[in-house]
Amino acid sequence: MSPPLPIAELPITGYLDRFSHRPGERFTAHVSVRDGGTARARLVRVISGDPNPAGPGLRFEDLSQRFDVTFAGRRQPIRLGSHAVVPRAPRRAAGPLTWTALVWMAALPPGEATILCEVAEGVASTLAIGRDGVTGIVSADAQAVVVATGRAPALRRWYRVWLSADPGTGRVAVGVAPLDGGAATVATAVVPGLRIPPGGGRITIAANGAPQPSNHFTGKIEDPALLEGYRDAWPHPDATLAALAPIAGWDFARDIPTQRILDIGDQACDGHLVNIPTRAVVGARWSGREMCWRHAPADYAAIHFHADDLGDCGWQADFAFEVPAGLRSGAYALHLTCEGGEDWLPLYILPPRGEAQARVAFLASTFTYQAYANHARGNADAAYKARVAAWGAYPHNPDDFPIYGRSTYNKHPDGSGIAFSSRLRPILTMRPGFLTFNDARGSGLRHYPADTHLLAWLEARGIAFDVITDEDLHEEGVGLLKPYSVVMTGSHPEYHTLQTLDALAAYTRDGGRLMYLGGNGFYWRIAVTQTLPGVMELRRAEGGIRAWAAEPGEYWHQTDGAYGGLWRRNRRPPQMLAGVGFSGQGLFEGTHYRLLPLARDPRHAWIFDGVEGETFGDYGLSGGGAAGFELDRADFALGTPEGTAILARSEDPPASFVTVPEELLSHIATVTGEKPDALKRAEIVYFETPGGGAVFATGSITWCGSLWQDGAFQGPVSRIMENVLRRFAAQ
């Protein structure tokens, strides 16, 4: 077998303690320098993150006079893979012992994967699984005894697996028995001088624990336990944990929202989870009577571990940046350099607490940036890389760096969806100049760099603005928005919590003005919790355009116990807040809008003042059109407020576009009764709330890319934006 390829790492990279802080607060930077040596960090203000030479370009304001530090760099490792650790050894008498668990796999591991491992007094007892079946390994003094069943168990079935050892007779047994019937497979051996220390040791579940966790298991584990006695048969493999009377046994049905595992034995040898495996998953005894784990926790007594899970990198801090008083709110970055390369750590600076430095606020979609963090699309081909090099774009793509973890748009090695995303790791997709697509008609930007189109436009038009983030809004509520006359979203505010939706709804209800400048916004429900800072949870439940589908019965978040999936399925369709909601999607390409009669009504004509003709937006830096990629439409049945004016509608959707599945009842019937093709449209809407607020929504992800036309921030889209923003800000 050839040696494994070295794991690729960036020459220098890092992450911050959070995305945003206020003056007087500190950002803590955690940096890894692959080859060591001196490194530097300096502050820059991010004005534009589009490297396209036909666009605004990469533009930074050097603020090294405000912050510039040199530090000794060191490589800091990342250890992927979730597992559980029981640090306190369960005591037991000398004599035969059995290590056991229930397991379920959807894919065989590439090598041997550890289910249970105990290390005591230099002796490691390991229960593992792989292509040679279930394996028991007892090793001491560089000598290992291996006993294997010889054949891997079938996939997507629950099994009882066990390792038994009797130091008195030297007998070792390894077994596997299906829970749904069928014969067990048992392998035995006699090992002269077999030694099992009676004192017990550190136990690791779903990984080999020494010296660093390795050989991670990908699959579900339930009822891991340590028992007295030797077993070379298991007549009742479905026996409950309590019935086994374990020396130590961990009931994963308890404390599901936490990162603790609780021992039901008399010694209370509790443990903790590492790298956030997925809980609230159907277990070996799932009855089907309940779909929510809160109502039947015993049905959800499994944990789904993954070899590529990543929670907090856990790097040591290298330096801190205290935000100086008087530094304007906005988008900034710490520019990292070392002999081998460079990187950027984006950050946002908020105004002082309770104050507003401008009448306009940009709400950065940091939850969405985090959901897409390190999305490996498989599109970093030679043509993509040639464009990156020619434009001087951000040179690194997550396709090439799996070590930094994947996004909630990727899957684990067994095909299960990635349900957690952490910001406590390097995020390559959240960098100035990162290209998502090799866009034939534009720049191919999404999320963080795409939203700099809006920020650069504000700068060019001389419009003062503050920046706030989703995370701040979740924590602080509507009070964060109240000082502002108008709040603007970016191109794709897709992921939200109940708290952020409630805050935005209260803001517009009580007189605030919202400009929703994207598409497919307010779409997925997520969960965040103070017990897992920096981490968001997502369950892709029934319906919607999905990169993967949650397993039936696994639609409820483990962290907050709420039903996941679409906000539309949670009776909070985007139309209720923004007037429009997701309806059509295609490749990264766009088209134009056509004005509708209400656009020339005296009540709304001010929005289109200076716009000539009946169509506009057939240009732009995002897919070549203002109405593109993902489109939103009004629907009064889904909550578009009464009196909403539909002012413009996209036309001629490209051939790649489809109607999203939640709009379809069948291949020919839709929720509105219209033809499926008719729902592939973006609509610009305007409405006022009874409390004096107002909402302007554009219904397209690519809208902000069309703020630029013919070498400048100008043209009809720019004019419409400025008309609305200045009217809203003045009120």
User: pLDDT by residue (tens digit) across 393-426?
Assistant: 999 999 999 999 999 999 999 999 999 999 999 9
Which residue segment(s) compose the domain that 21 sits in?
A: 12-79+314-330
4 burial level (CB within 10 Å; 0-12, 13-18, 19+): exposed
Residue 140 has pLDDT above 80, yes or no: no
Report pLDDT for 414: 97
Residue 7 has pLDDT above 80, yes or no: no
Instruction: Find out whether 540 and 420 touch, Cβ atoms under 8 Å.
Output: no
Average pLDDT over residues 690-715: 98
Residues in the chain: 731
4 confidence band (pLDDT: 50, 70, 90): very low
Q: 544: closest CA among 385, 662, 707, 390?
A: 662
Q: Determine the Cα–Cα distance for residues 728 and 611; give it in Å rounded to an integer.
A: 19
User: Which residues face 138 on adjacent strands?
Assistant: 125, 145
What pTM does this model have?
A: 0.97
Average pLDDT over residues 182-210: 90
Cβ neighbors of 731 (< 8 A, separation 6 or more) are: 485, 513
Residue 190 has pLDDT above 50, yes or no: yes
In this structure, is residue 326 part of a structural domain?
yes
Residue 388 has pLDDT above 50, yes or no: yes
Report strand pairing: 466-469 vs 360-364: parallel
Q: Determine the Cα–Cα distance for residues 68 and 334; give it in Å rounded to an integer.
A: 9
Report pLDDT for 122: 84
Average pLDDT over residues 26-37: 98
Report pLDDT for 6: 56
DSSP 2: P
In this structure, is residue 7 part of a structural domain?
no
Q: Which residue blocks in 420-537 are alpha helix, DSSP H?
A: 447-460, 470-476, 498-509
CA torsion sign, 238 to 239 to 242 to 246? negative
Query: Which residue, of 330, 364, 381, is where some domain finishes?
Result: 330
Following DSSP, what letter does each residue of 111-152 receive, concatenated? S-EEEEEEEETTEEEEEEEETTEEEEEEEETTEEEEEE-SSP
Q: 583: closest CA among 526, 529, 637?
A: 637
375 and 420 both lie in a single domain = yes
396 and 286 both lie in a single domain = no
pLDDT in tens, 92-138: 888 999 999 999 999 999 999 999 999 988 888 999 999 899 999 99
543 confidence band (pLDDT: 50, 70, 90): confident
Average pLDDT over residues 513-531: 97
Average pLDDT over residues 269-281: 98
In this structure, is residue 274 part of a structural domain?
yes
584 and 663 both lie in a single domain = yes
Average pLDDT over residues 509-529: 98
Could you count the other beta carbons within 10 Å of the beta carbon of residue 616? 23
234 confidence band (pLDDT: 50, 70, 90): very high
Q: Determine the Cα–Cα distance for residues 607 and 722; give it in Å rounded to an integer.
A: 9
603 and 726 both lie in a single domain = yes
Report pLDDT for 121: 84
Report the C-alpha dihedral over residues 431, 437, 441, 446, rounded to 10 degrees.
-40
Q: 134: closest CA among 117, 148, 154?
A: 148
Please report which helix (H) or strand (E) contains residue 536, including its range: strand 535-538
63 and 165 both lie in a single domain = no
479 and 545 both lie in a single domain = yes
66 and 176 both lie in a single domain = no
Residue 145 has pLDDT above 90, yes or no: no
User: Which residues face 124 on adjacent strands?
Assistant: 119, 139
In this structure, is residue 5 part of a structural domain?
no
In this structure, is residue 338 part of a structural domain?
yes
Q: 105: closest CA among 156, 33, 29, 153?
A: 156
Q: Determine the Cα–Cα distance for residues 448 and 461; give it in Å rounded to an integer.
A: 20
Query: Which residue, of 330, 365, 390, is where some domain finishes?
Result: 330
**CA angle, residues 404, 405, 411, in degrees to nearest 5:** 155
493 and 620 both lie in a single domain = yes
50 and 104 both lie in a single domain = no
Inter-CA distances, 256 with 259, 301, 311, 326, 730, Å: 8, 9, 17, 45, 50
**Cα 301 to chain center, whole Å?**
24
CATH number at residue 215: 2.60.120.200
Query: Phi and psi for 152 in degrees, rounded to 5?
Result: -70, 140
CATH number at residue 553: 3.40.50.880
Helix, strand and coil percent figures for the chain, each rounded to 5: 15, 35, 50
Q: How many separate domains does the chain show?
A: 3
30 and 74 both lie in a single domain = yes
pLDDT in tens, 67-85: 999 999 999 999 999 999 9
In this structure, is residue 525 part of a structural domain?
yes
E-strand ranges in 213-259 read 219-228, 248-251
711 confidence band (pLDDT: 50, 70, 90): very high
Average pLDDT over residues 495-515: 98
91 and 73 both lie in a single domain = no
Q: 51: closest CA among 620, 449, 377, 373?
A: 449
Q: 307: closest CA among 188, 414, 451?
A: 414
3-state secondary structure of 61: strand
261 confidence band (pLDDT: 50, 70, 90): very high
Residue 8 has pLDDT above 50, yes or no: yes
Amino acid at 282: V
In this structure, is residue 3 part of a structural domain?
no
30 and 167 both lie in a single domain = no
In this structure, is residue 2 part of a structural domain?
no
